[in-house]
Structure 1
Amino acid sequence: MLESVTEWFWWDRLWLPGNLTWSHLEDHDGLVYAKPSHLYAALPCALGLLVARYLFERYVGDLLANVLGIRDAVRLPAEPNHVLEQYFHHQTRAPSQADVSSLCKKTSWSERKVQIWFRRRRNQGRPGLRKKFREASWRCAFYFFAFIGGILAVYDKPWFYNLREVWVGFPKQSMLPSQYWYYLIEMGFYLSLLLSLTCDVKRKDFMEQVLHHLATLTLLGFSWISNYIRVGTLVMATHDSADIFLEGSKMLFYLKWKLSANVIFMVFTLLFILTRLVILPFWLIHCTWVYPPEFYPPFFGYYFFNAMLFLLQILHLYWAVLIAQMLYKSFCGKLEGDERSDEEEDESEEEEHESDALEKRNNGLSDKNAYGVRSRANGQTAKDKLRD
């Protein structure tokens, strides 16, 4: 059964145009073609990039954070409380007012003290500013060098200037060493992002990010096997260009350099619109959808590849809405940081001291009232004795 599934999966008609088989893509006369077995190298490449990321964040990212004066906010630890801890882990991290009232009865704490406990406990699980800065600096560095590598891989090729050249001789197009390394490193990078999702700063669009990484890996893997390498390199270079400025703007936000961050974010927005909403749909998707039937009859891979590109385009439209909202807030002066991340809740020491003082005062008033009652009672007893 496994043999039948494997045979069906690698059926020529799924991956190649009609009248072509895998035998037509065997290396010969100095021509080297992309092979499915090459994709196995993406996993060790991803692991290598994870090691490189750790070293970069540990030494370069930390050094930059120290030089630029980035410090994590001082967090007051939540007071140990078994009842609240159990509720935090098994019920909800943000209890309603009714839940707070119920917890007050169980813990004999005031509502304000319970609310402060949950605020502190939530903050304990949030990543610090230095971690966010290190992640952004790593991604900014990777996208920068990946974009430079992508441009070097395509700038002197005829299909970079004339998209019809992408399909000339397809799929019998020999693979170039620059294409191999560009694909391998990009696939390793996106695979490393999937492997590190649980450790990275969690964003509000977490599921969209997972879907994006999976779609990207599927698209790259399929384009490699079907020899859609020429257009694949163009798509990757198009994506990397804007991401450099996105991560750069995050770094400036974390530095509190708001004016510079807003300027870089506007540059990112313009590039995002140009590359993801203009070049990708009207040049590259047009190239993969309109031109191929002029060179070969459509097959399953033709429809599948374009479907994955359309999925990416839908995600780009979703992010375009988020970017427009962030850009509007930056113009209004309301953008304080990376809105996709879970921001730390403010917790001023003055507020905490005020709460503690209020509680002590209430306790003091209770003690004073009790002392007054005892004093009056003792005074009345002394008067009774004098009368006697």
Structure 2
Amino acid sequence: MLQTVSEWIWWDRLWLPVNVSWSDLADSEGRVYAKASQLFDVLPFALCLLLVRFLFERFVATPLANVWGVRDKVRLPAEDNPVLENYYSSTSRIPAQADVLALCKKTSWTERKVQLWFRRRRNQNRAGLRKRFCEASWRCAFYFCAFFGGVIALHDKPWVYDLREVWAGFPKQSLLPSQYWYYYCEMGFYLSLVFSLTFDVKRKDFNEQVVHHIATLTLLSFSWISNYIRIGTLVMVVHDSADILLEGAKVLNYAKWNKAANGVFVVFTALFMLSRLVIFPFWLIHCTWVYPLELYPAFFGYYFFNVMLVVLQALHLYWAVLISRMLFKSLFRKLEGDDRSDEEEEDDSDPPKDANRKVNNNKPNHINASGARGRATGH
């Protein structure tokens, strides 16, 4: 049964154009082709990148953080309280006002003290500024090396300047050494990001990040096996170009170089919109959607590859909205970190703003109006 399933999975008609079989992609006549078995080598490569990341963050990013004065805020630990800890772990990290009052009765604490405990407890689980700085520094360094490595590998290739050349002789296109290493670096990096999701800074778009990494690895793996390598290298270099500036802007922002961070972020936004919303859909997806049909009839692999590209494009649109919001902040207000991050809350003795808002909403309208007038007049 397993043999039958394997035959169906690797059926030529699913993944290859008509009149082409897997035997046609065996090494011969000086041609070398990518092989599915080589994908297993990505795992040790990803683990090596995790080691390189650890060394980079410890011996490069951390000293750089010291030089630039990147410091974590001093955090006061939450007091030991089994009742509140049980609620925090099993029910919610942000209790509703009714639950706060119930917890006050159980603990004999004041409402303000309970709210302060939850703020401090939430802050304990948040990554510090130095961790964010080190992560952004690592990603910036990798994207910088990957992008310029990709440019070096592709600058003399004819399909960079004429996209129809992407499909010349497809799928019988020999694998070049530069393509081999470029693919392995990218696949290893994204696989290492999947491994590190659990201990990296958790952001608001965590689920979208998981979808993005899985879609990227699926695309790279499929393009490797089915020899869509030329278009795969173009997709990678287009994506890396803007990511350098995004991570660079974060690094500068964490170091409190706000004007420089805002300037870099504005340039990043322009490059993101150009590369992800113009070049990617209207050049690269057009290249994979239209040009192959001039050479052979559509097949399952053709649809599969294009659908995965469309999934990536949908994620680009989602992030374009987030980036637009961050751009608005950088132009009209101080840019405060990554808009996708779970930001640290202020640790003071005052109730959180959300709690005040909930309390005020329960008061009569004339009290709210009076409070608004008092704030407006400075009283």
Query: TM-score normalised to the size of structure 1?
Result: 0.89
Equivalent residue letter for 2:203 = R
Equivalent residue letter for 1:109 = W
Secondary structure of the structure 2 residue equivalent to 1:202: coil
CA distance in 2, matches of 1:197, 1:307: 25
Say yes or no: does 1:219 pair with 2:219.
yes
CA distance in 2, matches of 1:312, 1:274: 15
Conserved 8 A contact 2:258-2:334: no
Say yes or no: does 1:137 pair with 2:143.
no
Q: CA deviation at 1:157?
A: 0.5
What residue in structure 2 maps to residue 191 of structure 1? 191
What residue in structure 1 maps to residue 203 of structure 2? 203
Q: CA deviation at 1:258?
A: 1.3
Where does the alignment leave 5 or more consecutive residues of structure 1 unmatched? Answer: 353-388
What residue in structure 1 maps to residue 67 of structure 2? 67
Conserved 8 A contact 1:25-1:33: yes
Q: CA deviation at 1:23?
A: 1.0
What residue in structure 2 maps to residue 161 of structure 1? 161
Say yes or no: does 1:266 pair with 2:271.
no
Secondary structure of the structure 1 residue equivalent to 2:337: coil
What residue in structure 1 maps to residue 257 of structure 2? 257
Say yes or no: does 1:7 pair with 2:7.
yes
CA deviation digits over 1:223-263, x for unaligned, max 9? Answer: 11110000100000000000000001111111122111110
CA distance in 1, matches of 2:79, 2:224: 55
Equivalent residue letter for 2:173 = Q
What residue in structure 2 maps to residue 107 of structure 1? 107
CA distance in 1, matches of 2:346, 2:255: 18
What residue in structure 1 maps to residue 284 of structure 2? 284
CA distance in 2, matches of 1:177, 1:45: 16
Conserved 8 A contact 2:46-2:189: yes
CA distance in 2, matches of 1:244, 1:334: 21
Equivalent residue letter for 1:174 = S
CA deviation digits over 1:195-249, x for unaligned, max 9? Answer: 1100100000000000000000000011111100001000000000000000011
CA distance in 2, matches of 1:93, 1:12: 52
CA distance in 1, matches of 2:257, 2:66: 16
The number of residue pairs the alignment matches comes to 351
Equivalent residue letter for 2:78 = A
CA distance in 1, matches of 2:142, 2:253: 19
Conserved 8 A contact 1:49-1:188: yes
What residue in structure 2 maps to residue 42 of structure 1? 42
Aligned positions of 1:227-266 closer than 5 A = 227-266=227-266
Equivalent residue letter for 2:167 = W
Secondary structure of the structure 2 residue equivalent to 1:80: coil
Conserved 8 A contact 2:223-2:229: yes
Q: CA deviation at 1:335?
A: 3.0
CA deviation digits over 1:26-45, x for unaligned, max 9? Answer: 11121101111111111111
What residue in structure 1 maps to residue 373 of structure 2? none
Q: CA deviation at 1:5?
A: 0.7
Conserved 8 A contact 2:12-2:21: yes
Equivalent residue letter for 2:320 = A
Q: CA deviation at 1:143?
A: 0.1
Query: TM-score normalised to the size of structure 2?
Result: 0.91
Secondary structure of the structure 1 residue equivalent to 2:83: helix
Conserved 8 A contact 2:205-2:340: yes
Conserved 8 A contact 1:15-1:225: no
Q: CA deviation at 1:351?
A: 5.6
Say yes or no: does 1:125 pair with 2:111.
no
Conserved 8 A contact 1:168-1:295: no
CA distance in 1, matches of 2:189, 2:249: 21
CA deviation digits over 1:46-84, x for unaligned, max 9? Answer: 111011111111111111111111110000111111111
CA distance in 2, matches of 1:82, 1:114: 13
Equivalent residue letter for 1:189 = F
Equivalent residue letter for 1:251 = V
- Which aligned segments of 4 or more residues in structure 1 are displaced greater than 6 angstroms? none
CA distance in 1, matches of 2:334, 2:101: 34
Equivalent residue letter for 1:112 = R
What residue in structure 2 maps to residue 22 of structure 1? 22
Equivalent residue letter for 2:269 = T
CA distance in 1, matches of 2:249, 2:209: 19
CA distance in 2, matches of 1:237, 1:314: 19
Equivalent residue letter for 2:16 = L
